Amino acid sequence: MSAHNRSQAWFGAEGRSGMVYRSWVLNQGYGPKMFDGRPVIGIATTWSELAPCNAHLHRVAEAVKRGVWQAGGFPLEFPTLATGESLMRPTAMLYRNLLAMEAEELMRANPLDGLVLLSGCDKTTPGLLMAAASVDLPAVMVTGGPMLSGKYEGRDVGSGTEVWKLEAEFKAGRMTQDQIRVAEGCMARSDGHCMTMGTASTMACMAEALGMQLPGSASWPAADARRYEVAQEAGVRIVSMVQEDLRPHTIMERAAFENAIRTNAAIGGSTNAIIHLTAIAGRLGVALSLDEFDQLARAVPTLVNLMPSGRFLMEDFCYAGGLPVVMRELAEAGLLNAGQLTVTGKSVGENVAEAVCWNREVIRTIAEPFQPRGTGTAVLRGNLCPDGAVIKQSAASSELMNHRGRAVVFDSPEAYHAVSDSDDLDIEASDVIVVRYAGPKGYPGMPEVSNVALPTKLLKQGVTDMVRICDGRMSGTGFGTVVLHVAPEAAVGGPLALVETGDIIKLDVPARSLQLEVPDEELARRKASWVPPEPRARSGYTWLYTQHVMQADAGADFDFLQGTRGHDVPRDSH
Ligand code: FES
């Protein structure tokens, strides 16, 4: 065991301070051998019963501990902020940066040599990766795994994705409230996060594509014994990583982010990955522009046939071979930086070289993809979004990819919902619904509200999709022709704030263009009389958030949290 591990500055100390550091840990009954210089492994868990997707992580932590003990390390589990997507108001995204900030400080302040990051629900994965990147201690991620496939009336139902469909069916009068109550239970059959290719599954895959979690780890269902096996394996591996001094900055290099961006295109992943990857990269000094996301993704066809873009669920993806199969396809097509180092200590190309596909309906080949190249998430530019906007083509309607329509404008999602059921709402299927003041500063927290349900009167007419434009986000489980992440947002005076009902908007996705057909002079006149909204908070964390959050194209991190701050602790007060 090494006497040079960082934790020895605490547990190997002489005199009064060493006594203090050791004594209080001994109250847990570990015995003095734990202070002999062995790697101390912090298990950062986002376990909480208020984050249902992460409610089993205390059991995953036990499996990690088995591995750490097995390899001769000393595991210590500690809680970090559990940002559960389903219960937190106004939106879990408001708290992603708080999780990252809290976790980073805990990792640095404590006698830890290595980290195992336990996450699951959407924001917990990027939040912990941002923290680990900034503190730069050896780290491996273990995501909690997806729920088992939802089953309702003999068919597969995807958590999240089905919610939007059920809402539309209910509003159109084709389902009763009693049927909805049964269906909602059938969507959540086990431990785990959403089992569609929503944001949680996407970010689990991104952690694996970045090289930060063990190969195949993203897709094992939470209820599968293999989930606990990979957790134990991660516990074993982190002890070696400490000895090898294998840290996040050597794994998450630019090449790793390029791999993640291409992998996201291949899996039909969530638009939220753009924001989170940009934020993680910002912690490592890797500048990612929105246009790079478009350029890298354009060369990649969608291979994975999963909801919300396709038909299957994460359990099927796992049994088909999971992410290693996708990454092998990319590697063999020259679309992967195969030499990039990963937590295994091997390159990503080595990790996936032997991957076998067991179901080509679920994971297609590059030669015969599920959707062709260039149909993934596109980045739009134009006078309505000078700093960019995104649209997930694979979850949109092809006939709306080139659309010109009348804007119908709402100053908040709530303003839309207040009238969306009304038969008197002046709206037609060809109109463009604009929902604004839902960006990072405006809401605040950039909630997943962009794919508002269609107006009830149009749903009853059988309309299934319309163009919607918003400065907020969309759930990774959502779908529809929705332009998201419009930057700059309305709340900082972006052009979205200047749109009036009746204006004409032109969306041309093949040309990557979003234009407001209003003359510049008229826009200048409107801008001169635009009044910024009243601040949402004048104190507390929400105030801090609105003061420092960056725009969507910069990853919506806090400006003062960018970069790596390392793990040195300057002072010892004992
Ligand atoms: Fe937690 Fe979907 S609500 S992953």
Three-class SS of residue 403? Answer: strand
Q: Is the pLDDT of residue 418 over 50?
A: yes
Ligand 1 atom closest to Cα of residue 52? 1
The residue whose CA has the least distance to atom 1 of ligand 1 is 121
The pLDDT tens digits for 226-252 are 999 999 999 999 999 999 999 999 999
CA 62 to ligand 1 center in whole angstroms: 22
Ligand 1 atom closest to Cα of residue 86? 3
The type of residue at 435 is V
CA 300 to ligand 1 center in whole angstroms: 27
Kindly indicate the confidence band of residue 1, based on its pLDDT and cuts at 50, 70 and 90: very low
419, 409 contact by CB (below 8 A): no
Ligand 1 atom closest to Cα of residue 122? 4
CA 77 to ligand 1 center in whole angstroms: 23
38, 1 contact by CB (below 8 A): yes
Kindly indicate the confidence band of residue 311, based on its pLDDT and cuts at 50, 70 and 90: very high
Which DSSP category does 283 fall into?
A: H
The pLDDT tens digits for 503-518 are 999 999 999 999 999 9
CA 222 to ligand 1 center in whole angstroms: 13
The neighbouring-strand residues paired with 155 are 152
The neighbouring-strand residues paired with 380 are 389
The residue whose CA has the least distance to atom 2 of ligand 1 is 194
CA 229 – CA 234 distance, rounded (Å): 9
Ligand 1 atom closest to Cα of residue 54? 1
Say if ligand 1 is within 6 A of residue 118 CB.
no
Residue 132 confidence (pLDDT): 98
HSE-CB at 66 with a 13 A cutoff on CA atoms is 12
CA 179 – CA 242 distance, rounded (Å): 53
Say if ligand 1 is within 6 A of residue 448 CB.
no
362, 317 contact by CB (below 8 A): yes
CA 99 to ligand 1 center in whole angstroms: 16
Pairing of strands 432-435, 402-410: parallel
Residue with tokens 């409230």: 177
| Mutate which of 49, 85, 123, 206 for ligand 1 pocket (most atoms within 8 A of beta carbon) | 85
CA 459 to ligand 1 center in whole angstroms: 27
Q: Is the pLDDT of residue 2 over 70?
A: no
The type of residue at 77 is E
Ligand 1 atom closest to Cα of residue 84? 1
Ligand 1 atom closest to Cα of residue 199? 4
Ligand 1 atom closest to Cα of residue 85? 3
Higher pLDDT, 331 or 164: 331
Mean predicted confidence (pLDDT) in 521-548 = 96
| Complete edge-to-edge strand list for the sheet that includes strand 467-470 | 377-380, 389-392, 482-484, 467-470, 432-435, 402-410, 504-508, 513-516
Say if ligand 1 is within 6 A of residue 193 CB.
yes
The pLDDT tens digits for 330-351 are 999 999 999 999 999 999 999 9
Residue 3 confidence (pLDDT): 54
What is the helix (H) or strand (E) element at residue 115, kind and residue range? strand 114-119
Say if ligand 1 is within 6 A of residue 82 CB.
no
Say if ligand 1 is within 6 A of residue 85 CB.
yes
Kindly indicate the confidence band of residue 167, based on its pLDDT and cuts at 50, 70 and 90: confident
CA 50 to ligand 1 center in whole angstroms: 12
CA 160 to ligand 1 center in whole angstroms: 8
Mean predicted confidence (pLDDT) in 439-447 = 95
208, 215 contact by CB (below 8 A): yes
CA 309 to ligand 1 center in whole angstroms: 17
The pLDDT tens digits for 129-155 are 999 999 999 999 999 999 999 999 999
Three-class SS of residue 388? Answer: coil
Mean predicted confidence (pLDDT) in 345-364 = 98
Say if ligand 1 is within 6 A of residue 162 CB.
no
Tokens in use for 374?
Answer: 């260039």
CA 235 to ligand 1 center in whole angstroms: 25
Ligand 1 atom closest to Cα of residue 200? 4
The helix/strand count (H/E) of the chain reads as 20, 14
